[in-house]
Structure 1
Amino acid sequence: MVNVIFRPLSELPIIGVSELWNQSFEGYLVPAALPLDRFIGRTASEGLSLEHSLACYVDGEAAGLVMNGFREYGGRTLAWNGGTAIKPAFRGKGIGKALMLRNLQLYEELGVVQANLEAISQNANAIRLYESIGYKQIDRLLIQSTEQPIPDMDDTYEHPFQIALGMAAEAARLPFYSAGEVWQAGLTSLKDGESVAVFDGGEAAGYALYRRTFSPDGDLTGIVLYRAEVAPGRTDAKAVLAAALHEVWQPGETCRRSAFNIRASNTALAEVLAGMGLATTMEQVLMVREM
């Protein structure tokens, strides 16, 4: 039996945490290594807690880590696993499971009521591990993109709705907004994000959350859609979504357009995005564990 001990990441120098992250994700299904400045930026922007994240050690050597974020919604504490990985030399020895079990114990100590994570769909070993400790798959998440102009949509596109543009945080005022389980689509993660609200005769009909990126010269280089929802009970969901996405995609501009972690269960949105030419480049599974 391997003897594993744990330390909070806050006890390590930040460069040590960054190096452990990169070493632990070596050989991962997708590139996950980050330079120090981007690692620090991600930790801050996603609300990851070094104090309540863990490094694990075997025979005095750092073997892996888990990074956690925590948010309060309606008096409930939710946790997000923002990355779990084990160094290649320590894989296949049960260390990942020991780390995850200690992490669940940490969640219980902190009063977490629901724990969420995402795993790449092809990562069968990780999914099996998470299921073995009580996580359940509740949805698939689609990552999509296109470099092409959006078909059948230009500046002459017309629809019967009224549009209000704002910051992402303003979406919380809409009567049907709810936080949802996709951490990076949450308003706290989208501090520099923007929103499109769609109204029908003064009644809120839908919204979209997105982020734009620009070159140093101020040219638009990319648009990423994080979420788009329609008010419950509407029979014109696709029309509402198309109106919102016309504003999001800015059809007159030339740039890369992407959609990140779109819930496959949102079938109207998935169909609208496919019709706009966005191709799925990767899928994740959304997993939840009630504590």
Structure 2
Amino acid sequence: MNVTFRTLSELPVIEVTALWNQSFEGYLVPAALPLDRFIGRTASEGLSFEHSLACYVDGEAAGLVMNGFREYDGRTLAWNGGTAIKPAFRGKGIGKALMMRNLQLYEELSVDQAYLEAISQNTNAIRLYESIGYRQTDRLLIQSTEQPIPDMDDTYEHPYQIAIGMAAEAARLPFYSPGEVWQAGLPSLKDGESVAVFDGGEAAGYALYRRTFNPDGDLTGIVLYQVEAAPGRTDAKEVMAAALHEVWQPGESCRRSAFNIRASNGVLVELLAEMGLVTTMEQVLMVREK
């Protein structure tokens, strides 16, 4: 069995899209994408065809891995935006060979820290990632509700001040951090929005979210990505509740979702449960240090 690799930039994008869809066939959640959406996801998540790999077995395309890269605070960060092997090649060690070659690529690019997510039930993939040096650092919750959100405007007594803006404006807050959840970072939220909560002129917390609309301009959905309170605040729950009240717009009728919320953020998880959101899927967040 001869295993070889090519960068995705060597292939026509329509072939890459087909390989993606074929490799994710039978996956735990539907991952197939039409060409236009595949191109859109590649752009919005900052995925690099030049530094992503297709894997071949005896000359036949067998799978792929897609990578994104960002610079933050003088460090190079990498994200595995999708690894999959075609059904006919699974269980033959191809996935590990692909990931080992991917780690060589990370070394060549001087990556300091690498991230990925895996569905919690995908124990085979998690074991593979752990065998090559990744470790689990958190659980990520995907939640949603179709029901009206209760108006929680009277659940906190403090007179916070609220500022609505674009997601990118959150970078000005002194405690903003991109964190380890790639798709919740500002580069992935170019069309996202922010709520900043202030207490007497001092930044107390923020939320990042995205809204969707139908062609008539009606609100159809709100997706939450981050909610944080400033470190050391004893009123963290009230600050987050104030931010969420603005994000969810309780008077509107639409689907509300929370994407890859860290389970370790217990205050936020508790608040979302009180607001009626239900966990529909769970992933593990995994990190590999240089």
TM interval, shorter chain, is over 0.9
Deviation at 1:151, TM superposition (A): 2.1
2:3 matched to 1:4? yes
Number of the residue aligned with 1:270? 269
Number of the residue aligned with 1:213? 212
Number of the residue aligned with 1:70? 69
User: In the aligned structure 1, how far is the partner of 2:152 from the partner of 2:106?
Assistant: 47
User: In the aligned structure 2, how far is the partner of 1:80 from the partner of 1:34?
Assistant: 20
Where do residues 210-289 of structure 1 align in structure 2 (5 Å cutoff)?
A: 210-289=209-288
Deviation at 1:150, TM superposition (A): 1.2
AA paired with 2:32? Answer: A
- Farther off after superposition, 41-50 or 158-167: 158-167
User: In the aligned structure 1, how far is the partner of 2:274 from the partner of 2:86?
Assistant: 41
What does the per-residue CA deviation read over 1:29-87, in whole Å, with 9 as the maximum and x for residues that have no partner?
A: 00000000000000000000000000000011000000000000011000000000000
AA paired with 1:161? Answer: Y
Deviation at 1:153, TM superposition (A): 3.2
**TM, length-normalised to structure 2:** 0.98
Where do residues 100-249 of structure 1 align in structure 2 (5 Å cutoff)?
A: 100-153=99-152, 160-249=159-248
Number of the residue aligned with 1:99? 98
Deviation at 1:160, TM superposition (A): 1.3
CA RMSD of aligned residues (A): 1.3
Structure 2 unaligned spans of 5+: none
User: In the aligned structure 2, how far is the partner of 1:50 from the partner of 1:95?
Assistant: 20
Match of 2:51, SS? strand
Structure 1 unaligned spans of 5+: none
Paired residues of 2:152 and 2:241 also in contact (CA < 8 A):
no
Paired residues of 2:7 and 2:54 also in contact (CA < 8 A):
yes
AA paired with 2:221? Answer: G
User: In the aligned structure 2, how far is the partner of 1:3 from the partner of 1:266?
Assistant: 46
Paired residues of 1:154 and 1:251 also in contact (CA < 8 A):
no
User: In the aligned structure 1, how far is the partner of 2:154 from the partner of 2:253?
Assistant: 13
AA paired with 1:245? Answer: L
Paired residues of 1:139 and 1:286 also in contact (CA < 8 A):
yes
User: In the aligned structure 1, how far is the partner of 2:201 from the partner of 2:87?
Assistant: 57
